[in-house]
Chains A and B, each alone.
Chain A
Amino acid sequence: MIIVKKLIKRFGLKNILRGLDFSVASGEFVALLGPNGAGKTTFLRILATLSRPSMGYVKVAGHQLPGEAAQVRARLGVVSHMPLLYPDLTAEENLRFYAQMYGIANYQSRISEVLEMVGLENRRKDLVRTFSRGMQQRLAIGRAVIHDPEVMLFDEPYTGLDQDASEMLDEVLRSVAAEGRTVVMTSHDLARAEDLATRFDILSRGVIAASATQKELQNTNLLAFYKQALAD
């Protein structure tokens, strides 16, 4: 579903990604872990078509980037630490706007469906500015799945959430966003990543330093694996 070969991203003279190889099979849930400045967000922004690769081969959902960005965008949902919602619009209006931007024909029923999935059908007429951080983040998930994308990207979705809200988000992420989709998530929260993902890739100094599936990790825990990978 996602194939990346020898990806290089430069900001000016600084190399953020240095020949990164990465691939995700259909249906996999990959957690992208790594220290600050390793290039996780940059990498995710490239996958999301928001940033252009300096060099290398990137293919998402069967389309190559940056050339076929429009096709990729139609098959891609993104949840970031920012909600990407308009505070002066209601939950419903926000979803309607994005539904129109994705060219969804019969959006009224889809909006109701999505609101129900993220558990906000009672608040559909309320302004987003009145929502708690956790509710906003759930609506953000609804926004990201409105067009039923094949690939989901989560960029630090737990930032700024307390324990309860995180747990609730876990539920929604698992059932709404990840179910039947290919997912790449960046996170600092190893425990949650361990819970959700089927594979763990450690991004360090612009390349994937180590990778392990959930099965391979059964004996060791993720934290030990993470520390080991960064120490190498």
Chain B
Amino acid sequence: MTNKMQNEEGRMQNTDSIHPSSFITHPSLLKATFAIVQKDLAAEFRSFELVSAMLVFSLLVIIIFNFALELDVKVRQSVTAGVLWTTFAFAGTLGLNRSMATEKDRGCMDGLLLAPVDRSAIYFGKAISNLAFMLIVEAIVLPVYSVLYNVNLFRLDLIGIILLGSIGYVAVGTLLSAMSVQTRTREVLLPILLFPVAIPVLLAAVKASNGLLTGAEFAEVLIPLNILIVYDVVFIAVAFMVFDFVVEE
């Protein structure tokens, strides 16, 4: 803390002597990413537009599943993972769409592109914000589901799987939402683009979660867990490489 204060002071004294037009630097990837995340979270915590929409939607989906699948004790055990991930996936597209639309609608995307930062900072910034929104929703849905159906979903291993699955989903989703927002069909297009490509991560996540919830052997969970990790790594790398092509003109 004191260190930081000293730093601030140091900077204050410095700037007076610097030539006015040279006081900008090209911010590092990390700083620019952080600035975007901070901006997104600050805006969201003010309006709660995005998270509340995702949350209400999630709860509605669970209620519909409840009656559609007649979630009695027997059925519940085997479908809980499926219900949860379907809910997360649907709510996720809602958030991804909205998050990118706020950039596009007022030309803010141009504002981001005008800044002297690497394009990947925009990708990582948006992806981390989207992940944060998704995790917030998941953090509320899990206890609600636990209470409603009297199962304990608050397990560290399950939370780990949910984190890995959400990372993969958001990694592809952020890239594709940056594409879909620039098309004529916009919101409608995102799930159509996203779901066929995200099938591996969703299936692996369901499989791993199901294994944990039904108390399967660890070896059974290990395979989908590995797929999750591979998917996350591969798609973050691919998205990182092609994001430039999605935002440039």
Contact = CB atoms under 8 A, between A and B. Distances in A.
Interface in A61-97: 70-71, 73-76, 78, 80, 82-89, 93, 97
A80 B24 CA distance: 22
Contacts of A84: 106-108, 110-111, 114
A199 interface: no
**Interface SS, B side:** helix
B20 interface: yes
B197 interface: no
A52 B245 CA distance: 12
Nearest to B34: A100
Contacts of A100: 27, 31-32, 34-35, 38
A80 B110 contact: yes
Interface stretch (B10-18, B56-64, B212-220): B10-18
Contact of A93 (B12, B36, B39, B106): B39
A97 B106 contact: no
Interface of A: 45, 48-52, 70-71, 73-76, 78, 80, 82-89, 93, 97-98, 100-106, 109-110, 127, 143, 147-150
B26 A103 contact: yes
Interface of B: 11-12, 14-15, 20-21, 23-27, 31-32, 34-36, 38-39, 42-44, 46-47, 49, 102, 106-108, 110-118, 248-249
A87 B35 contact: no
A105 B20 contact: no
A89 B115 contact: no
Contacts of A85: 106, 108, 111
Nearest to B12: A106
26 contacts: A50-B113, A50-B249, A70-B118, A80-B107, A82-B107, A83-B106, A84-B110, A85-B108, A86-B106, A88-B44, A88-B47, A88-B49, A97-B38, A98-B115, A101-B117, A102-B24, A102-B27, A103-B24, A103-B26, A103-B27, A104-B23, A104-B24, A105-B11, A105-B25, A106-B23, A143-B111
